[in-house]
Structure 1
Amino acid sequence: MGARPVLVDATSVPPNRGGVARYIAGLLTGLHELGVVVDVVAKPEDVAWLHDAAPSHRYRVAPSWTRSRPLRLVWEQVGLPGVLRRSGAAVLHSPHYTFPVTRASRTVVTLHDATFFSDPAAHSRLKGAFFRTWTRLARRFARATVAPSAATVAEIDRFGVPARRPTAVAHLGVDRSVFHEPGADEVAAFRTAHGIAPDTDWIAFLGTVEPRKQVPALVAAHRGLPDAPPLLVAGGLGWDDEARRLLTAAGDRPGESLRHLGYLPIEELHAFLGGARVVVYPSTGEGFGLPVLEAMASHGDVLTTRRLAIPEVGGDAVTYTEPGADAIADALAAMLADDPAVRADRVARAARRAAGFTWAACAARHVEVYA
């Protein structure tokens, strides 16, 4: 690829290092594993974290005021082109929709999600308009675009978004150092840390609580199964008002049937997912469905939906349901009643399938696009 060929703009990493941060860190790790060295520009507080994940790359520090999202978007247009020029890179990778329009012909842009088109009600009006606009600009003017699933590309195509050239598909990976089968001691430690009685099961949901994740339907389904283990919801509260009301009222009280754990430390996630009796993710639309993959890699028994990209991840190794409360309740009841051998076979198939999704493979596809 030549000397200093690519500059990756990592300034879109959010403060909680969730969401797009997982993609950026995973991609940089995969490039590191392949021996492909790139330049990376990041906010001051993210440089050390990214360097620890992928130490072979060359890191540059963005101005501290890029911590402000509006100012970061301004800097992207007026400051990032200078960083690109000084780096000597031939290609800029903008990994989260937006990019400097004056450098579009040198830019690869990642488009993560098509639900801004297919399910606009799942997003605020401003957010939907913003990301639809940048998706259209990227497809029309960028050197290349990348998406995490064939379903996302198909949805963008279905809505007639013009494309300079076809969008490439690069499935995401899973960090096996974080998401793997937990030991009995790790599950016991998770129980102790969160006030869960020994040998008590739980049902897990992991993800930002937003309308398309169908958390109110999941809560209603769970309430219809009085003998089910408690439902533990982990993740930030987004813009689903009904879910916010339910989870705020529930709080995080040990022994209750519904608990909102909030953000969990990343080192606890494999025990949370792999130690659960069932991991439920009843989303109506995903650009990829990383929580499903992470649960599979953690040896979780997953109940999810066939919507958009999720079947590309889950294949025949997870259980599918429609996203309504009655359907979720029926599927969940059946899984809770399954013979342990049936469950063990499903979990083993899911773990084998998850092993095929690596950040090195994701990075290799990106290298093809950069070239």
Structure 2
Amino acid sequence: MGRYVDELLPALLAEGADLAVVAQAHDLGHYRALLPGVDVLAAPAAVARPPARLLWEQAGLPLLVRKSRADVLHSPHYTMPLAAGLPVVTTLHDATFFTHPEVHLAVKRRFFRTWTRISLRRARRCVTPSAATRAELVREVGADPSRIDVAHLGVDAARFHVPSAAERAGVRAHLGVTGPYIAFLGTLEPRKNAAGLVRGWVEAVGDRPDPPALVLAGGRGWDDQVDAAIAAVPDHLTVLRPGYVPLDLLSGLLGEAELVAYPSFGEGFGLPVLEAMACGAAVLTTRRLSLPEVGGDAVAYTEPDPASIGSALRALLDDPVRRRELGEAARARAAGFDWRACARAHLAAYRAAAGA
């Protein structure tokens, strides 16, 4: 979500949008630096707590928006004020709360299912990051496809690129790893299937003379299966959990890996896959939901069970030519996903909402 907002807003400015941004108090400095000359409005400090934020979104945000004299309000994460007093565009990032309810906490599942339905009914337009997500909302929720606009996310080539020697060395120093490794990047939540990746990786590398480490980068999340899977890893194999990796090290993390594995059960878009592709990495992912829409023929695919993951990892590790070909194809395909194009798709949705 942070990447989406932080990349979209400057791209909207570059496309000529007239913006006013509402941010929490602790983010004011960030957005004022990111968006020079833009009016950045402060929400009350109390909205740092989710219940207060949701209440303020209904009662306080509409007043602030009306004072800004905006033509359209864009709510970028499922929820929206029900009495905004102007057209609202809401982003619905994925449909897995309906298609894969078992991978979400029950309270989160209920919340986002409810708000997805409300926004589909009440927002003037909705935006999804992939055609797959739009199709799932139509199929699962009965959404009207004519009121949903697809805006593929982009990749910042200045940040995600084939890493230099210095960037490769920098991420190795950060991780404390000297040998080969397989990388995963994402929050460790059940949907990402990190536990299945751990088990498949053990099957793939356990008998190799120089087994690559597995780097699980990203927030800890709430997947209680990951710890159990790691506890069963043989002593001669190495799993690294560095937590959040700074943005300036991500190109090194992804591009220096033997391959990047992202065996998710389903994504609304799959930004880590695209970012790894832009870094020239060979990527292994699944054909679930939007992931083929992003990866196309430039990535390798597996089923999400550990045996299939292990077999696919083994095949790629044994075939450096295939990994190199995938990396080259991935870079070419990633170049077609641009934040300016994403911004233009959003502007079209705003114009449609205002015109309607």
TM-score by length of 2: 0.93
2:202 to 223, 238, 243: 223
Identify the match of residue 332 of structure 2 among 345, 352, 363. Answer: 352
Q: Is the 8 A contact 1:94 1:110 kept in 2?
A: yes
Higher RCO structure, 1 or 2 (CA under 8 Å, sep 6+): 2
Q: Is 1:335 equivalent to 2:316 in the alignment? A: yes
For 2:326, give the aligned amino acid.
R
**Deviations 1:84-135, CA, capped at 9 Å, x for gaps:** 1100001100000001001276110000010000011111111111101111
Cα separation, 1, equivalents of 2:118 and 2:170: 48
* Whole-angstrom distance in 2 between the partners of 1:161 and 1:237: 34
Residue 149 of structure 2 corresponds to residue 160 of structure 1: no
1:270 aligns with: 251
Q: Does 1:243 align with 2:222?
A: no
In the alignment, the residues of structure 2 paired with residue 104 and residue 138 of structure 1 have an alpha-carbon distance, to the nearest angstrom, of 15
**Is 1:182 aligned to residue 163 of structure 2?**
yes
Q: Which residue of 2 aligns with 1:366?
A: 346
Structure 1 unaligned blocks of 5 or more: 1-19
Displacement, 1:164? 8.8
Q: CA deviation at 1:277?
A: 0.3
Shift of 1:47: 2.1
How many angstroms apart in 2 are the aligned matches of 1:140 and 1:326? 42
Q: Is the 8 A contact 2:259 2:323 kept in 1?
A: no
Please list every run of 5 or more consecutive structure 2 residues that lacks an aligned counterpart in the other structure: 352-356
Give every structure 1 segment of 4 or more consecutive aligned residues whose post-TM-superposition deviation is greater than 6 Å: none
- Matches of 1:243 and 1:185 in 2, distance apart? 32
Per-residue deviation, 1:161: 3.0
Which residue is equivalent to 1:144? Answer: 125
Query: In the alignment, which residue of structure 2 is the partner of 1:211?
Result: 190
- 1:76-225 to structure 2, matched below 5 A, reads 76-103=57-84, 106-163=87-144, 165-197=146-178, 200-224=179-203, 225=205
Q: Partner amino acid for 1:139?
A: L
SS at match of 1:102: coil
Q: Is the 8 A contact 1:105 1:143 kept in 2?
A: no
Query: What's the CA shift for 1:241?
Result: 1.1
Instruction: Compare 301-310 and 29-38 and name the one that shifted more.
Output: 29-38
Aligned CA-pair RMSD: 1.8
Q: CA deviation at 1:45?
A: 1.8
CA deviations on 1:119-159 (whole Å, 9 max, x unpaired) are 11111111111101111111111111000000001111111
Structure 1 residues 72 and 204, CA gap change in structure 2 (3 angstroms): same
CA distance in 2, matches of 1:165, 1:152: 14
CA distance in 1, matches of 2:115, 2:125: 14
Residue 50 and residue 94 in structure 1: after superposition, are their counterparts in 2 closer, same or farther (change >3 A)?
A: same
Q: For residue 361 of structure 1, give the secondary structure of its aligned residue in structure 2.
A: helix
- CA distance in 2 between counterparts of 1:164 and 1:281 reads 29
Identity %: 47
2:283 corresponding residue in structure 1: 302
Aligned residues: 346
Match for residue 14 of structure 1? Answer: none
Q: Report SS of the residue matched to 1:98.
A: coil
Structure 1 residue 290 displacement after superposition: 0.4
